[in-house]
Structure 1
Amino acid sequence: MYDPAALEALVAPPSREVPPVDWQQLEERLEFALPLDYKWLVERYGPGSFGDFFRVFQPACQRQGIDLEYQHERTSWALEYLVERGHSLPRMPSELLAFGRSDNGDVAYWITSSSDDPNNWKVAVGEARGPLWEEFDGGVVEWLTAVLSRSYRVAIFPKDFPRRHPAFHPYDL
């Protein structure tokens, strides 16, 4: 279960107002529901960077590099391409939904096959230019909190991430 207060205590959210999201319309376009912790994260932090390194994809964002729908299509295509070329993945592309990316290009995914309830989806991280994958038994907010607090180390990420006092840097869109 995610703890919003734990993430907020670790990384202060921006003081600026975050644009509202029409979740119903977005979920109709995607044809599936999204986890409540992700919705909270988007509504509380909005577009930006955690620790100048990790970005959470945003709904209906004019920047394609962080737009959830665009990145879902792009990463799904890339994963399918790899499978078609004989690469082995720990999960089928249809089981993964990208929700964020590091500056190094490593992608964080929800494992949609881990539960029928999106609030119970687990997290996987795939290395950008290599075969490494790892899974985390929790949702996006729980994963971010664990990574940013250093209680969970993502082996794919650089050893110096996160810094001792991680911050959130909002984007001006």
Structure 2
Amino acid sequence: MHRLPELLVLCPPPTAVDRSHRATVAEGVELPSSHRQMLAVYGAGCFDEFLWIYGEGVEREALSIEENTRAARSILSRGLPESLAEHLSGLDITPDQLVQWGGTDNGDLLLWIPTGPVDEWPTLVLEAGRLRFSIVSLESPSMIFELLTKSLKIPIFPPDFPSTNPQFSPDPYR
């Protein structure tokens, strides 16, 4: 179920949104339509000063799907936990096909597993250090909504996330 309307109520977007990401299509990087819709109203940035979402063609490399995906693929090519490598192999997916659409302040990665229709790609949440992982079968706005309402808990995320009043910022640390 597409939860973007509920996310907008829970965590209103900024009044001024950098929509420059819409002008560029990353070569070899496809985005689910729900993520594009979320970027159209929020832009790239951070939920609750912890959970970052990336966009394509953004000016700041730290918020770029293209740059974060390149970096993640490079890191993941050095090795994965055996159980994750087996899972991806069973889907006929290699680490160099994963697309990083988000991350956390702790260095955890949120990566789409590009299997099946683009709008149904599951998300791999990979702990910094690549020790533990979770796979979530929700599109990105729904996943964020469920994380912010505590309907979804990811064991590797800190217990104080989310806060009681989550907010979105285009870049809280800039």
1:76-87 matches, within 5 Å, as: 76-83=73-80, 87=81
- State whether residues 49 and 55 of structure 1, in contact with CA within 8 Å, keep that contact through their aligned partners in structure 2: yes
- Are residues 1:88 and 2:87 paired? no
- Structure 2 gaps, min length 5: 89-93
CA–CA distance in 1 between the matches of 2:82 and 2:32? 28
Using the size of structure 2 for normalisation, the TM-score is 0.86
The 1-side partners of 2:31 and 2:113 are apart by 12
Give the CA deviation at 1:88: 2.4
Q: Which residue of 1 aligns with 2:110?
A: 108
CA drift of 1:130 comes to: 4.4
What is aligned with 1:9? 9
Are residue 147 (structure 1) and residue 147 (structure 2) matched? Answer: yes
Tell me which residue corresponds to 2:64.
67
TM-score normalized with structure 1 length: 0.87
C-alpha RMSD of the superposition: 1.9
Runs of 4+ in 1 over 4 A off after TM superposition: none
Gaps of 5+ in 1: none
Q: Does the aligned pair in 2 maintain the 1:79–1:93 contact within 8 Å? A: yes
Question: How far is 1:135 from its partner?
Answer: 0.9
Tell me the equivalent position of 1:36: 33
Task: Say yes or no: does 1:49 pair with 2:46.
Answer: yes
Q: Percent identity?
A: 24
Mapped partners of 1:17, 1:122: distance in 2 = 27
Contact 2:65–2:99 (Cα < 8 Å) also in 1: no
Q: For residues 57 and 169 of structure 1, what CA distance do their matches in structure 2 show?
A: 12
CA distance in 1, matches of 2:62, 2:83: 23
Instruction: State the number of aligned residues.
Output: 165
Distance across 2 between alignment mates of 1:125 and 1:95: 15
